[in-house]
Amino acid sequence: MMRELAITSLRSGGVITNLYCSSACKHCLYASSPKWNKDYISPGMAETIINKILDLGCTFIHIGGGEPMLNLSGLKQFLQIASAMKLGIEYIETNSSWYKDEDSAVRVLQDLQGLDVDTLLISISPFHNEYIPFHKVKGLMKACHAGNMGVFPWISDFIQDIEGFSDVSPHSLAEYEASYGDDYLKNVAERFPLNFRGRALLTYKDIYPKRSVDEILAEGKRGCGELANTSHFHIDLFGNYIPGLCSGLSIHVEDLGGPLEFDKYRFLLTLYNQGIAGLLEIAQQEYGFQPEEQYLSKCHLCFAIRRFLVMDKKVRSDDLKPVPYYRWV
């Protein structure tokens, strides 16, 4: 007997306006990178998503990506729609790559302030510094202070590490390890509330000890209750609500609010009811999936199965989206 899954209220979350990015951070939950198509959220999809978010009780969101500021006219259009529909904006996330100089940045900030934005979350981490020279981050923070835009530095604890290098160019994680020790990535994970899904899985899979499939299955017999967690949700530009922040899984935004149909969301509902054991059984029996001996976690095995289904077996299903996620992770 399958338990129903229905997302009937939303508490706090964000809208992903685009998945292309100027960075390809090695911890990115959504596998953003310059390789994605330059798709940006359309006005029609913005209205559909905002309607549903408001219907389900959430009145403020943040905006994330990808890098949302890479298409300023698209971003402003989204903000105009949100403002007209009375959806508040808590902050916009940015990696600062678009920063050129203080005057032009202040002009952009003024435009955003005119559209009811009063805070930028500015990404600060060694992962971002592999792509973004730190002088851009410092320049943007200075422009925010000059233009009375609030700054939410995420995470300021890393500033000292990053300032150990020149700020005119990016610096690889290998440089960080050479300067701060071989266990630097472990150290970063302890200071950064990393979600070990998406690209973080691949970055950390050889850093932390792996466990046998049997051990993972023994722990993962119960369904994945995470999929019903709405305390911090994301919805992308294609209308994919990402259940439990399990990137690569999707519930279409139009299907939020009521019970999901099994035929449409078979993989997702199997995970919700039977956990990773249920998904593995389908993958082995119906698609010939052969697991490796060990994985980092149930989410690592889940990702491996889903990537096999989407990329190797060309399975196209409403709950395994967006497809390019599996290509660019």
DSSP 192-224: TT--SSTHHHHHHTTTSPPEEHHHHHHHT-S--
Q: Which letter does DSSP use for residue 259 in this model?
A: B
Is 244 one of the binding residues for ligand SF4 (CB under 6 A)? yes
| Binding residue count for ligand SF4, defined by CB under 6 A | 11
The minimum distance between CB 303 and ligand SF4, in angstroms, equals: 7
Residue 177 burial (CB count, 10 A): 15
Options 36-44, 56-64, 154-162, 296-304: segment touching ligand SF4 (CB under 6 A): 296-304
Closer to ligand SF4 by Cβ: residue 151 or 323: 323
For residues 297 and 230, give the distance between their C-alpha atoms in angstroms, rounded to a whole number.
22
The minimum distance between CB 321 and ligand SF4, in angstroms, equals: 14
Is 109 one of the binding residues for ligand SF4 (CB under 6 A)? no
Closer to ligand SF4 by Cβ: residue 89 or 227: 227
Cis peptide leading into residue 322 (ω within 30°) = yes
The minimum distance between CB 272 and ligand SF4, in angstroms, equals: 8
Is 102 one of the binding residues for ligand SF4 (CB under 6 A)? no
DSSP 17-52: ---B-S---TT-TT--BTTS------HHHHHHHHHH
Is 299 one of the binding residues for ligand SF4 (CB under 6 A)? yes
Annotate each residue in 51-90 with x if it binds ligand SF4 (CB under 6 A) or - if it does not, as one string: ----------------------------------------
Chain position carrying tokens 């959504």: 30
Q: Which of 302, 304, 320, 329 binds ligand SF4 (CB under 6 A)?
A: 302
Is 29 one of the binding residues for ligand SF4 (CB under 6 A)? no
Is 246 one of the binding residues for ligand SF4 (CB under 6 A)? yes
Burial of 108 (0-12, 13-18, 19+ CB in 10 A): buried
The minimum distance between CB 88 and ligand SF4, in angstroms, equals: 29
Residues between 171 and 210 that touch ligand SF4 (CB under 6 A): 197
Residue 325: C-alpha distances to residues 78, 97, 140, 176, 246 (Å): 23, 22, 29, 27, 12
Q: Which of 111, 177, 219, 226 binds ligand SF4 (CB under 6 A)?
A: 226
H and E: helices and strands count for the chain: 13, 10
Q: Which of 49, 58, 276, 320 binds ligand SF4 (CB under 6 A)?
A: 276
For residues 304 and 85, give the distance between their C-alpha atoms in angstroms, rounded to a whole number.
40
For residues 150 and 122, give the distance between their C-alpha atoms in angstroms, rounded to a whole number.
10
Options 10-18, 51-59, 147-155, 220-228: segment touching ligand SF4 (CB under 6 A): 220-228
User: b/e for 273-291, b at 16 or more Cβ within 10 A?
Assistant: bbbbbbbbebbeeeeebeb
Q: Contact residues for ligand SF4 (CB under 6 A)? A: 197, 224, 226-227, 244, 246, 271, 276, 298-299, 302
